[in-house]
């Protein structure tokens, strides 16, 4: 336990606050100086509410605290796409960016930072988070800086970490989980963080190698989606613990890593609720979280860090294991109990039955609205052998084969009618499943499926899969379908405009090359890099480059 905990401490400003990708140190003194200078400029801005979206973790936390010290309300959106920007602009809300300093360099007065130890200031300072939108449209959750400080205190009391331990993250700081564990926990406990957001297990190992040269221990903030891609030969180095949140960790996955994994249960509405260190273990509530379980098995929580006062119904079913120790078992999501043709079904139970098939590694089952009726759809990740079997035979025959096996485990109405086969379940930047996006995969498909998206340095990356149901495959050609070049340019334009909202339309191409064919089930990596109004792209597989070129855009305001 570390006490007292504040966001601002002036007793050791020389300590390292952030380690850059070039392994340069940024001290607490430099950080707070940056905050004060930016806060002075932000105070002059007219608008009261500002949206904040910064890929760089250091730039993000500078602007976050600068905006709060300037008494602005900071809104943390789930993305920064054109439609969202236009919606914000209608409400006179704009995205905050680093301000040009209007005063000459001089010794900065840090006295304003003591507001961060003032309870009245902490209680009135507002941030607005968005839920992940995994079960519908994202909704806004208001949190005060005091509530976040309370949560950080709870984390510091629950987990013992070395004083020199460096935070390394594969998750985004835009989501509350990444913000708390990567940025605010180090800040409040006088530790430091490694600035880049890492995309792959190999990136984590490389970062640990670099930090090990300075004899620095680390802890890793990650998600089930990335941890699933870990292999036993990738050994973590000088790592004290891995934190995982955002979804259920698959049983047996802990055996692939040489460091303990702590699962954290929580949500944007509730904040952190509980944690556990073993598969199928009971959950233990954080010290400042009160747990109640209703007669209908609804898990309800109350804490001094939640976005709402009083008891919050979580949507999870639970049962007590040990009331005195605040330990409980989770029984599944209540919103995954559905009614189909007057029959009550559990989507969790259906998924468990499908996962028992030897052909299936993972699946996600959901309720679809299809031509004025409801039916079940299933997105399946197949084993390597089953993937080849699917390619060698007719899809309808393969599905019939799966259904025949399921008739011994599920009643007829519980067997999905619609099927999609992908190499992984698509997830958003917060490693969450987006229910609406998955439903769209069962409608007319005009674009390849975005399996995941990440940033490395100045480039954006998307992992894309081309299922055979894509419209561009139809009739092009009947027996040997390939994805046409004009279709590739079309979706690349759209993805670029989603990432950079000021791009209006594509008005030309340069150095365009189509080097290899894209066939059904191909998984590609799309790299997008921007310089002024030009967006360069490259699509590759592990074996070859498929296409490359440069798109010329008209830009808003130019």
Q: Are residues 467 and 350 in the same domain?
A: no
Same domain, 99 and 238: yes
Residues 408 and 454 reside in one and the same domain: no
Residue 122, domain member (yes or no): yes
Q: Using one digit for the tens of pLDDT, what is the confidence trace for 388-405?
A: 999 998 899 999 999 999
CATH number, position 385: 3.30.300.30
**Region of poorest pLDDT, from 157-161, 226-230, 300-304, 554-558:** 554-558
Instruction: Assess whether 548 and 493 both reside in one domain.
Output: yes
Do residues 206 and 95 both lie within one domain? yes
Mean pLDDT of 98-102: 90
- Whether 316 and 371 map to the same domain: the answer is no
Q: Looking at the domain assignment, is residue 432 inside a domain? A: no
User: Is 55 part of a structural domain of the chain?
Assistant: yes
Residues 216 and 136 reside in one and the same domain = yes
Question: How far, in Å, CA of 95 to CA of 89, rounded?
Answer: 9
Kindly give the interhelix angle for 384-392 and 395-406, rounded to the nearest 10 degrees. Answer: 130
Residues 535 and 416 both lie in one domain: no
Of 211, 244, 268, which closes a domain? 268
Residue 10 maps to a domain: no
For 364-381, write each residue's pLDDT tens digit.
999 999 877 899 999 999
Pick from 454, 523, 514: nearest CA to 488: 514
Contacts of 312 (CB under 8 A, 6+ apart): 269, 270, 300, 301, 302, 306
Using alpha carbons, list the distances in angstroms from residue 35 to 6, 105, 106, 192, 293. 16, 14, 14, 16, 43
198 and 259 in a single domain? The answer is: yes
User: What's the CATH code of the domain at 54?
Assistant: 3.40.50.12780
In this structure, are 143 and 224 located in the same domain? yes
Strand partners, 465: 449, 523
Q: pTM for the whole thing?
A: 0.81
Sign of the C-alpha dihedral computed for residues 86, 91, 97 and 101 taken in this order? positive
Task: Answer yes or no: is 48 within a domain.
Answer: yes
Mean pLDDT of 35-60: 96
Candidate from 64-68, 491-495, 510-514, 552-556 with smallest mean pLDDT: 552-556
Would you state the structure tokens that stand for residue 229, as one six-digit string?
Answer: 């891609």
Return the pLDDT at 430.
Answer: 65
pLDDT of 301 > 70? The answer is yes
205 shares a domain with 81: yes
Count the neighbouring beta carbons within 10 Å of the beta carbon of residue 374: 12
Has residue 292 been placed in a domain? Answer: yes
pLDDT score, position 107: 58
Please check whether residue 283 is in contact with residue 328, taking contact to mean a CB–CB distance below 8 angstroms. yes
**CB burial readout 252-285, b (16+ within 10 A) else e:** eebebbebebbbbbbbbbbbbbbbbeeeeebbbb
Domain end point (choices 233, 268, 303)? 268
Is 438 within a domain?
no
Q: Give the number of domains in the chain.
A: 4
Do 63 and 165 lie in a common domain? yes
Length of the chain: 558
Q: What is the pLDDT of residue 136?
A: 52
How confident is the model over 263-269, as a mean pLDDT?
Answer: 92
Mean pLDDT of the chain: 92
Q: Which range of residues forms the domain containing residue 66?
A: 16-268
Residue 6 forms part of a structural domain:
no
């Amino acid at each position: 336990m570390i006490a007292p905990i504040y966001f601002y401490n002036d007793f050791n400003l020389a300590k390292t606050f952030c380690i850059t990708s070039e392994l340069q140190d940024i001290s607490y003194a430099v950080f707070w100086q940056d905050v004060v200078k930016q806060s002075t400029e932000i105070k002059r801005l007219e608008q009261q509410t500002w949206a904040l979206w910064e890929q760089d973790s250091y730039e993000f936390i500078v602007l976050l605290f600068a905006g709060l010290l300037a008494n602005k309300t900071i809104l943390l959106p789930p993305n920064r796409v054109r439609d969202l920007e236009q919606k914000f602009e209608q409400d006179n809300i704009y995205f905050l960016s680093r301000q040009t300093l209007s005063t000459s360099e001089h010794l900065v007065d840090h006295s304003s930072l003591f507001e961060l130890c003032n309870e009245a200031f902490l209680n009135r300072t507002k941030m607005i988070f968005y839920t992940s939108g995994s079960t519908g449209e994202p909704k806004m959750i208001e949190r005060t800086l005091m509530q976040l400080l309370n949560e950080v205190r709870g984390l510091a009391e629950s987990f013992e970490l070395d004083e020199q331990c460096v935070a390394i993250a594969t998750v985004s700081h835009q989501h509350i989980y990444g913000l708390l564990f990567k940025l605010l926990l180090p800040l409040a406990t006088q530790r430091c963080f490694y600035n880049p957001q890492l995309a792959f297990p190999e990136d984590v190992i490389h970062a640990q190698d670099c930090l090990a040269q300075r004899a620095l221990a680390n802890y890793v903030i990650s998600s089930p989606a990335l941890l699933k891609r870990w292999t036993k030969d990738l050994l973590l180095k000088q790592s004290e613990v891995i934190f995982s949140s955002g979804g259920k960790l698959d049983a047996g996955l802990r055996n692939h890593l040489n460091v303990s994994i702590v699962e954290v249960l929580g949500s944007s509405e509730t904040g952190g609720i509980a944690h556990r260190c073993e598969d199928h273990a009971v959950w233990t509530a954080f010290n400042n979280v009160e747990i109640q379980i209703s007669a209908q098995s609804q898990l309800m929580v109350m804490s001094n860090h939640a976005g709402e006062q009083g008891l919050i119904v979580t949507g999870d079913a639970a049962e007590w294991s040990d009331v005195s120790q605040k330990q409980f078992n989770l029984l599944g999501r209540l919103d995954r109990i559905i009614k189909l043709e007057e029959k009550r079904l559990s989507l969790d139970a259906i998924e468990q039955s499908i996962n028992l098939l030897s052909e299936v590694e993972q699946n996600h089952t959901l309720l679809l609205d299809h031509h004025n009726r409801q039916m079940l759809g299933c997105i399946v990740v197949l084993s390597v052998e089953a993937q080849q079997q699917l390619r060698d035979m007719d899809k309808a025959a393969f599905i019939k084969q799966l259904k025949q096996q399921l008739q011994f485990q599920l009643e007829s109405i519980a067997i999905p009618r619609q099927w999609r086969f992908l190499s992984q379940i698509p997830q958003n930047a917060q490693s969450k499943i987006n229910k609406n996006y998955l439903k769209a995969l069962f409608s007319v498909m005009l674009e390849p499926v975005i399996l995941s998206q990440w940033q490395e340095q100045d480039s954006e990356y998307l992992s894309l899969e081309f299922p055979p149901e894509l419209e561009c495959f139809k009739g092009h050609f009947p027996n040997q379908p390939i994805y046409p070049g004009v279709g590739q340019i079309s979706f690349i334009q759209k993805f670029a405009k989603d990432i950079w909202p000021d791009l209006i339309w594509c008005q030309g191409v340069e150095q365009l090359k189509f080097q290899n064919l894209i066939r059904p089930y191909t998984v590609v990596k799309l790299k997008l890099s921007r310089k002024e109004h030009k967006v360069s792209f490259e699509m590759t597989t592990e074996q070859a480059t498929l296409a490359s070129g440069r798109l010329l855009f008209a830009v808003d305001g130019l």
